[in-house]
Structure formats: structure tokens, C-alpha cells
Amino acid sequence: MIRRVQHIGLAVRDLDAAIALYERAFGISPEHRDRSEAEGVEAAMFQVAGVGIELMQPMRDDSPVGKFLERRGEGVHHVAFGVDDVAAAMEDVRAAGLEPLDGEPRPGLHGTRVGFIHPRSAGGVLIELVEADGEGGAT
Ligand code: CO
């Protein structure tokens, strides 16, 4: 059901500074930059050999990423698995006893459809299931 690691989400306090660090230290530049008012997050997506690195800065302290930074500080926030059909994948994980955070797939950043799985049901890891438009989770 999982086709690949689509991206890894990293929480940062200062997105511009983090982008500059990645450009300077690793020689990579973001492919997309996007923000979601609903999620209260601004994010930049880099590509490294087909795997995304998503740097995320909260727009508000009470947003999910804002609360994560408060509790845990900067660091790895989630792992996103690419799937062909996010709705079907969410049914599969629910049947396997995991706890989706979303009842239905919802629009993600960068033109995707996503569903998240609660870390308490998945070994402490926040998992994002992602179906990317025009890309299929499979590529
Ligand atoms: Co993500």
C-alpha cells in the first residue's frame, strides 16, 4: 500500500533562516513554498533524489506545529508515505487498528490530498499518508 517515502516534515522556528541554511550547507533550493491558514503553517519543500524535505514554520503559537515546537523544540515532525489512493489507505490503516486524525482525506500543501495517523497508535511517529496530484504516490 505504501509506495515510497514521499517526504519528511521538519519543524523549524524560522523558515527563511532554515531555507538559507539548507541552501548554504547542502546546496539545495526549495521547489515549492506554500502556506495554509487553516493549519497555521508555512512550508517549503525541497527534493533530494525523489524524497521531499518539508521545512515547516508555524504561523501561530496555537497551531499544531506551534504546539509541537513548544513541547518538543525543532526537529523531525512527521514522515509522509506516498500512496496511490489516500482514502483507501486510511481505511486500511483504520482496519489495522491505527487511529487516523482525519475522517476523510483533506487537501494538503503543495497540491496533495493527505490523511494523518495519530502518533499514539503508530509507535510515537506522526505519519502522513499523501497522494500527490499528477504524481501519484507511486513515482
Ligand atoms: Co507533510
Q: Cα separation of 64 and 59, whole Å?
A: 10
Question: pLDDT tens digits for 66-95?
Answer: 999 999 999 999 999 999 999 999 999 999
Question: pLDDT tens digits for 96-130?
Answer: 999 999 889 999 887 899 999 999 999 999 999 99
- Those residues whose beta carbon sits under 5 angstroms from the ion ligand 1 are 9, 54, 80, 128
Report pTM: 0.91
How remote is the CA of residue 14 from the centroid of ligand 1, in Å?
17
Ranking 10-14, 21-25, 81-85, 102-106 by mean pLDDT, the lowest is 102-106
Which residue is associated with the grid cell 508515505?
Answer: 81
Phi and psi, residue 77, nearest 5°: -105, -45
How remote is the CA of residue 45 from the centroid of ligand 1, in Å?
9
How remote is the CA of residue 97 from the centroid of ligand 1, in Å?
22
Q: Cα separation of 87 and 89, whole Å?
A: 5
How remote is the CA of residue 65 from the centroid of ligand 1, in Å?
11
Tell whether the torsion through CA atoms of 16, 20, 21 and 26 is positive or negative. Answer: positive
How remote is the CA of residue 79 from the centroid of ligand 1, in Å?
7
How remote is the CA of residue 110 from the centroid of ligand 1, in Å?
9
How remote is the CA of residue 95 from the centroid of ligand 1, in Å?
23
Q: Cα separation of 125 and 30, whole Å?
A: 25
